[in-house]
Amino acid sequence: MNERQIIEYITAQAGPADGQLLKGIGDDCAVIRKDDQRVWLLTMDTLVESVHFNRAFHPPELLGRKAVSVNVSDIGAMGGKPVFVLLSAGMPHGFDETWFLAFVRGLTEACREYGCFIIGGDTVASPGGLTFTLTVIGEARADQVLYRSGARPGDSVWVSGPLGLAAAGLELLSRNIEPENRAFDPLREKHLNPPARVALGQELAASGRVHAMMDLSDGLATDLAHLCKQSGTGARLFAPDLPGLGMLAAAARRTGCDPLHWALSGGEDFELLFTASPEERSTLVEVAETCGLKIVPVGVIVAGAGVTLIQPEADGTQREIAISYQGFDHFRNGNGG
Backbone angles phi, psi at 313, to 5 degrees: -105, 165
For the ranges 8-22, 94-108, 231-245, 283-297, which has the lowest average pLDDT?
8-22
Residue 8's pLDDT band, with cuts at 50, 70 and 90, is confident
What b/e readout covers 191-223, taking b as 16+ CB neighbours within 10 angstroms?
A: bbbbbbbbbbbbbbbebebbbbbbbbbbbbbbb
Contact predicate 65/106, CB 8 Å: yes
Q: Which domains, from first to last, does the chain contain?
A: 3-144 (3.30.1330.10), 148-333 (3.90.650.10)
pLDDT of residue 16: 65
pLDDT digits over 122-131, tens only? Answer: 999 998 899 9
Does position 70 have pLDDT exceeding 90, yes or no?
yes
pLDDT of residue 330: 52
DSSP structure string for 76-97: HHTT-EEEEEEEEEEE-TT--H
Across 278-298, average pLDDT: 98
Q: Checking DSSP bridges between strand 234-238 and strand 306-312, what pairing results, if any?
A: parallel
pLDDT digits over 76-124, tens only? Answer: 999 999 999 999 999 999 999 999 999 999 999 999 999 999 999 999 9
Mean per-residue pLDDT over the chain, rounded: 94
Across 48-55, average pLDDT: 94
pLDDT digits over 200-238, tens only? Answer: 999 999 999 999 999 999 999 999 999 999 999 999 999
Reported pTM: 0.92
pLDDT of residue 337: 44
